[in-house]
Every structure is written in C-alpha cells, then in structure tokens.
C-alpha cells in the first residue's frame, strides 16, 4: 500500500473492555481517518426538540471547537469571560473588520462530559488571560479542536498555550509559543495533529511562521522548521507514504509535505490563494487541498510522485478553479469528494480519483450560511447550517435529500458521530442526538 492515513497509532483497546478501537471513536478534528467520516457510526436520520434528543447541555462561555470522543467521554473546550470589562486600546491590525474586541479576561477551559447522559465529569481551567487580539464575529477564542489517543488529551488554545492532560483532567505538561499575529485579527483556528508519540503544531501567522513537532509524552520539542507563510487556519494532516509518515500542511503560498521524523521538506506546491482555512483530506495515495478567497482552487496530488517543487507537474493529477470551499473542509467518503462552495449553501460531489463531477454545485435551499464541515456516516451526509438546519443527504453520485432537521440554535462547529449518536455543538447547547428507545 502506497499510502494510508495514520493520525492515531493507538488503535488497540484502551482502558476498560467496553471501549472500542480508535476508528470507532472520534479522536480528533475530522474523525478517526481525518476525512470527515465516522466509519462505524449509525446516527439518527431525523430529530426535533422533542424527538431523538438524548440530552442537551448548555456549555459555559463560548467556543467553536469540535468535540472529540473516546470511550464514554466527550471532550470540548471553551473560553469563559469573568471579572469587570477591561479597556481595549484601538490598535487593530490592518484590514481588521467585523471583529469582537477582547473586553474581558477569559478562563480557558477544558471539559469532560459523560456522553451517555450529558453530565460534566470534570472542568479544568488551564489559563486565565485577556486575549491580545480580537476575533471575527463568527469566530471564538476557543476554536482549535482537541485530539486524544485514549491515554492523554491534547488541547491548543493557540496564543494561550498547548496543553496535555490525562483523561481525568490532570495537567501533565504545557507549551507556550508566544502570541500569534493573525491576519485581520480574525482569530486562531488550526488544531494540533497527533501521530504516535508526536504532536504537530502549525503556527502560520503574520509573524515568524513555523511547524513544530513535540514529544506527546513530555512536551519536549523534537524539531521546528521555519515557514515562509502568512496566516492560515488549516489543520496539518499526517499520512504514510511508502511506509514513512509525512506531515501535509495546506497554506497560502505553498502546500507542503514534511518528513515527520526531522521536519525536512519533501515536496511543495503553489496554487492556493490567501486565507486557507479548509484542511486537507487524503486516501488511496492522493491528497486533496482547496480554498476560496482571492481565487478558487482545488488540487488532487499523487503522493508517490510528490518530490521537490511539484507545481504544475504530473504529480498534480487534476485541478478545479470554481465552486471550491473556504471555511468548511471537504468530506472524502467512499471515493467521492464532497465540498461546499465557499461558505454558502451549495454542495458538489466529484470522483476523487479523476475529478469528474457527479453533481453540483447543488443548491441546498434551506441552508445558505455554512461553516461546519460535512460529516459522512452510515451511507449518509450530514450538513449543519448556521441557521439551525441540518440536512441529511444520501451519499453517492446522485443528490438526494433524506431529511431536514431544525433546532433553535446555530451550528458553526462541525458535527461528529460515534456508535448510534450524533453530536452537535451549537451556540446555545451541546446536543446528543440518538434514537429514542421504547421504555426509556
């Protein structure tokens, strides 16, 4: 096999015998294989406020991070304001617009929740601080998603630090890389990636950008490589190519592949515009990157041929220059690539190998504003809109709506599924959606 995704090497049973292997969990941003798919989950098709809601929980503060799940626990981050309002100097970055000022000190909080009944098992404040920069009105100061290997939990609050906790909330180590300088002060968002005992942190900003590898057990830095990059928000992806792991980072000037062992650059490719938010996805020897800001772009790259500068080379198997995603990351499901046009209510589906379109951009009609990335589970696609609507589509080459679900909330964090449950983090509540059982 030329390539496989191995974001988590802890696939064996961890903890008690009731826990499942890693690909049955949701251990990181974009799921166990990094492609947005819950391969063993079968969540509900339909729900309302009065049907198929197992529990809902009002989380403290505000955050947009997607929760992760291991065993019976769900982990999520948030930022909780406290104390008196604090004056903020008018020193916004060039081009800042539609931003929230950091008018309070914030508790930066990690929570563990019993995923069966919604009880908060523990709540840990890892830092108290007033953010040094603002954030866009659609963003938050707790946007990066955690990652876990079933032994430890890794959490990034960006400029407020990287933290490792055990699954009972004990702080094991922390790392502070200083303050990021985010373009337009639109907030921080890149999540850490985990491979074995290596934690990868992407630090692209308007200052000195770099990619760093930490020992996940101790927090000690293994390597750090400088990057000629401006701000990006995408999360690194770790894949194996010919048996060797490499880190793929999608960004403005170059998409790059690095050797996980020492940070050496393996390949690079130009073609994306500024403000890269969508994370790459990969399968069957290919990686797919996309964005939509100054211009629209998507590239399919054959990893076996990716050496040196591959811009416009045969290693770039196909490209697309329209209807590509901005905020939501693509979904790669059963050989098909699903993606949103910019952040709008249009969905496209392509053959991932050839780039041949099956459909799209198909108007979603009831969803017009969409930041959450698509979820694939049980032959279905779940699309969560910022207006509270979640569409469920049939996965496959034909556009078919199976269900339309409404909740009085707003969904920016991406949906996830484990076992028979769907989890939705809204602006107001965290929901566990599971089929009602007779007698319960």
Sheet order of strands, 430-434 included: 53-57, 430-434, 421-425, 416-418
Q: How confident is the model at residue 88 (pLDDT cuts 50, 70, 90)?
A: confident
Residues 85, 182 contacting (CB under 8 angstroms): no
Q: How confident is the model at residue 8 (pLDDT cuts 50, 70, 90)?
A: very low
Residue 5 DSSP SS3: strand
Which range is least confidently modeled, 48-52, 78-82, 89-93, 113-117?
Answer: 89-93
pLDDT, tens digit, for every residue of 143-171? 999 999 999 999 999 999 999 999 999 99
| Rounded distance between C-alpha atoms, residue 440 and residue 435, angstroms | 11
Residues 345, 323 contacting (CB under 8 angstroms): no
Q: What is the mean pLDDT of residues 391-415?
A: 98
Is residue 364 classed exposed, middle or buried when 0-12, 13-18 and 19+ CB atoms within 10 A define those classes? Answer: buried
Q: What is the mean pLDDT of residues 405-416?
A: 98
Query: Is 90 a residue whose pLDDT tops 80?
Result: no
Compute the radius of gyration of the chain from its Cα atoms.
20
Q: What is the mean pLDDT of residues 105-129?
A: 97
Nearest to 12 by CA among 20, 168, 243, 4: 20
End-to-end CA distance of the chain: 47
Which range is least confidently modeled, 20-24, 236-240, 312-316, 349-353?
Answer: 20-24
pLDDT, tens digit, for every residue of 16-39? 434 678 899 999 999 999 999 999
Q: What's the confidence (pLDDT) of residue 1?
A: 31
Strand pairing class (357-363; 346-351): antiparallel
The four Cα atoms 126, 118, 55, 47 give a dihedral, to 10 degrees, of: 70
| Rounded distance between C-alpha atoms, residue 146 and residue 66, angstroms | 8
Q: What's the confidence (pLDDT) of residue 440?
A: 54
Residues 328, 371 contacting (CB under 8 angstroms): yes
Q: What is the mean pLDDT of residues 82-88?
A: 88
Residue 73 DSSP SS3: strand
Is residue 12 classed exposed, middle or buried when 0-12, 13-18 and 19+ CB atoms within 10 A define those classes? Answer: exposed
Domains and CATH numbers, the chain: 3-86+94-434 (2.130.10.10)
Neighbours of 119 (CB within 10 A): 11
| Rounded distance between C-alpha atoms, residue 25 and residue 150, angstroms | 9
Q: How confident is the model at residue 96 (pLDDT cuts 50, 70, 90)?
A: confident
Q: What's the confidence (pLDDT) of residue 9?
A: 38
Q: How confident is the model at residue 52 (pLDDT cuts 50, 70, 90)?
A: very high
| Rounded distance between C-alpha atoms, residue 180 and residue 187, angstroms | 9
């Amino acid at each position: 096999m030329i390539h496989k995704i191995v974001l988590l090497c802890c696939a064996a049973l961890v903890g008690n015998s009731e826990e499942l292997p890693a690909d049955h969990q949701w251990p990181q941003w974009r799921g166990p294989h990094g492609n947005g798919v819950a391969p063993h989950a079968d969540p509900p098709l339909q729900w309302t406020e009065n049907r198929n809601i197992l529990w809902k929980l009002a989380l403290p503060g505000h955050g947009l991070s997607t929760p992760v799940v291991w065993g019976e626990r769900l982990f999520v981050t948030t930022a909780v304001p406290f104390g008196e309002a604090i004056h903020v100097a008018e020193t916004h970055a060039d081009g800042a617009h539609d931003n929230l000022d950091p008018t309070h000190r914030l508790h930066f909080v990690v929570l563990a929740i019993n995923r069966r009944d919604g009880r908060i098992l523990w709540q840990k404040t890892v830092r108290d601080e007033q953010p040094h920069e603002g954030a866009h009105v659609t963003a938050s100061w707790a946007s990066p998603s955690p990652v876990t290997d079933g032994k430890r939990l890794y959490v990034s609050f960006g400029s407020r630090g990287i933290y490792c906790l055990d699954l009972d909330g004990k702080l094991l180590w922390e790392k502070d890389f200083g303050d990021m300088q985010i373009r337009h002060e639109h907030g921080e968002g890149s999540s850490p990636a985990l491979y074995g005992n290596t934690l990868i942190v992407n630090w692209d900003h308007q200052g000195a950008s770099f990619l760093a590898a930490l020992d996940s057990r101790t927090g000690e830095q293994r390597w750090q490589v400088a990057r000629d990059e401006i701000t990006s928000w995408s999360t690194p992806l770790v894949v194996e190519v010919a048996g060797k792991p490499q880190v793929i980072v999608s960004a403005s000037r170059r998409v790059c592949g690095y050797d996980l062992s020492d940070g050496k650059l393996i390949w690079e490719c130009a073609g994306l515009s500024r403000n890269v938010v969508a994370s790459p996805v990969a399968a069957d020897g290919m990686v797919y990157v996309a964005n939509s800001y100054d211009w629209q772009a998507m590239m399919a790259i054959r990893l076996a041929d990716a050496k040196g500068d591959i811009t416009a080379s045969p290693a770039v198997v196909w490209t697309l220059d329209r209807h590509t995603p901005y905020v939501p990351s693509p979904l790669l499901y059963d050989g098909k690539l699903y993606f949103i046009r910019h952040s709008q209510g249009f969905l496209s589906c392509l053959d991932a190998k050839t780039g041949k379109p099956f459909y799209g951009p198909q108007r979603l009609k009831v969803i017009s504003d969409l930041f959450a990335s698509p979820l694939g589970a049980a032959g279905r696609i779940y699309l969560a809109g910022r207006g509270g609507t979640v569409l469920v589509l049939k996965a496959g080459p034909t556009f078919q709506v199976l269900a339309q679900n409404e909740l009085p909330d707003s969904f920016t964090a991406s949906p996830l599924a484990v076992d028979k449950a769907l989890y939705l983090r809204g602006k107001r509540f965290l929901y566990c959606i599971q089929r009602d059982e007779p007698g319960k």
